Structure 1
Amino acid sequence: MPTLTLQIEPPQPALALLPEPQLCYLLLTLGASGAGGAHAVNWALVADASRSMRIPIVSEAQFRELLRSGTAQEVLVDGVPVWQLAGPVPPDMRAAAPSALDFVARALHSVVDRLSDGDRFALIACAEEALALTRSTSGADRAALARGIGRLPGLNLGEQTDLAQGIALGLSELRRSRAAERAERLLLLTDGFTQRPDECLRLAAAAAAEGVAISTIGLGGEFQEDVLTAIADRSAGRALFLRKPDAIPQAVGAELRAGRAVAARDATLRLSLAAGTALRRATRMRPALTILDDAIRPAGPPGSYELRLGDLEAGAPTTLLLELMAPAHPAGLAELGRCELRAAGTAPYAASLTARYTATPPPAPPSLLDAAARANAARLQLRALDRAAHGDAREAARLLRAAAARFAALNEPALAALASDQAAAIELRGSASALAVKELTYATRRLGEG
């Protein structure tokens, strides 16, 4: 049985003697040790099989051939030069050029070779409808798995994409093979926009309640990064951005390895705060910087909260930054509350939250100040993109410039430059580049690694 661990920094924060409530930061490091052995995995892959995922991806040499033949021509779209096809791609070139779904199939054939008899795998394709190409099947039945994978590149399930149908069918297949000894993962891959995004988010919350983590892979520059990151965050999964399809095999393999590394399943942190103390905000710093404010749930009596953390992987602790509002208090020790880490099949780990009130509090630890600075920079960037999405260009540009200054102070020059460039783009055109927004969104989630 794994053992849960919980460390609090600082163990006893120093607070000033103020007549009003004050902000108190706590950095919690949560983990599980002593699990031993690789975990069996019950997982499903939901692949967008709409038209865009089936388009052949030509090499540079093939593209030059299309130029010479006049099949590819440069045109202006909204004043921007882009390449468009003026005729059909020759059949021999189309046959030799892989599509994104071909890369997915290659990745899955490689994964199948690494499945154990205790693993279960289901493959779902979706576009206007969803189809189970392989129902939840033992890793030992490689022939059945290979047959389902072989059908993926040639499918035609319609032009539009309804990822909610695929997620629902994937969850249904996971339920067929549910067992306590298996970690549960659903991997969602898409390169475009989906119908019914609100239903996708509802299904992500339902998955979290069942202990299923949904990881998402956004491919290219046209997918809805806000939807995919929200799906991952609501279910405690991972969110990845891939520029090119040839990165798919590595990403799919990494997801299987993550499932194998699970040491404790369906972890939650419960807080029981003393009278006058309140939880203001919460940020997951690692494994990816994620704003958890919307994930804070009341849990029983006033002052009680719960945060769902998903699975804990061996050797990869989760770090949380909690922002508490601590009440005024005379000099000396004060209990702010208690926290308890729980996970399926393990003994809970509880700890007290205490603070020392003093007239001259020493500075907070550098690691705590750094985490707070990174969380606040990420919040600025999110607010900026939200304002841009709502058409408030002036405020979006102002917030992006402020975020850029924070990124620079954190020694993140590339992120600072990207934020500054997009602030200028918003002021000039009224909107940011769709690709740059994705780069900002996903790069900011890596801020917690600093």
Structure 2
Amino acid sequence: MTSTDLRKLRPDQWDEWYANLELAFGGVPESPEERETWRALTEFERAIAAWDDGRIVGTAGSFSFRLSVPGGAVVPTAGVTAVSVAATHRRRGVLSAMMRRQLDDVRAAGEPLAILVASEPAIYGRFGYGIASRQLRAEIDTSRVRLTVPPDADGVRLREADPTAVLDACEALYARLVPGRPGMLRRLPGWERLGVLDPESRREGASPRRCVLAEVDGELRGYARFAVRPEWDVAGPKGTVVLHDLEALDPAAYGALWRFLWGIDLTSTLQVGPRPVDDPWQHMVDDARRCGVRFRDSLHLRPVEVGAALAARRYAAPVDVVLEVEDAFCPWNSGRWRLTGDASGAECVRTEAPAGLALTVGDLGAAYLGDTSLTALAGTGRVRELRSGALAEAAGAFSWPVAPWLPHGF
């Protein structure tokens, strides 16, 4: 184990701390705009630095998030971020020490969930995180794929606007959507700036970020933020539309925005992502094969307090099951928990009753938002049915009709 010293980060140490993080992720410095944004968002009381011989060799932090869960509740959640260990200090227990300190602090703060976006998914399973949501990306040949939108999309007025000038209105619309989809974040002040963070170094030849609004009778019903990457060959233009964000309150606005993106002059490709895996545009196209759809992991989640976490969400069907939970890294979660609940509410308490299912806390985290089926996990042998019928009951209850989705990283 390491002999490094873990300390809370002081504001005057941020530059060194962040430089270590940049070095761990390849050593290319971020733009001043990006650094200023992330410094402003840093919660210093939640940031950790690992020190050895007077220099920082490890970094970790978390944000005070509110995560939407099945049923519409928005739950206090630690958003784990900025995790790195210097190449000179690998395999010396630095990461484990930081994760131990961090989860103890999260528990003390009364946050029942912790989430992260993994640069390397293989790392975090041993600390109890499971893959709780996925994201969709696509590269659509708009010159050959036709899009059919709802008829009332013709009644939606579209207009371009400066992304920064309409940021508050777009953020208010986004906030209305958060309870309806698990995995979304209720953003605290300052986080809305991510939607317009647009350093030239990240554009890859595309234009500055643009914004189009969808309005009905003067009311904002949706928006899209995008850029255009122009390209030409001997046959003519073949530019790409790069979609960054799209939110809409109804099918008409949603369809009008997608039709707009589909038809931008001098382009033949629409680059999409990340989007929810159940994004409706997939059912509006006439040739899904030419849309280049692909999926990858997104949000990794671990229950920090199993009882509070399971009681916070709602369930798609009535459930009354005893779970035997294994949690080697946070042993306070290990043992049997009786979960009772339905679409109106839930309770999860300690019990001595016989267990119906046995699973690890990571598998519980994977199933928590409704994206990963307990039945699928049982097929791997990781979830074990101890009472006949318990698996089908729990799997049906943990499912959810709307796919979870994390709109952006952190």
More helix by percentage:
1
Q: Same fold (TM over 0.5)?
A: no
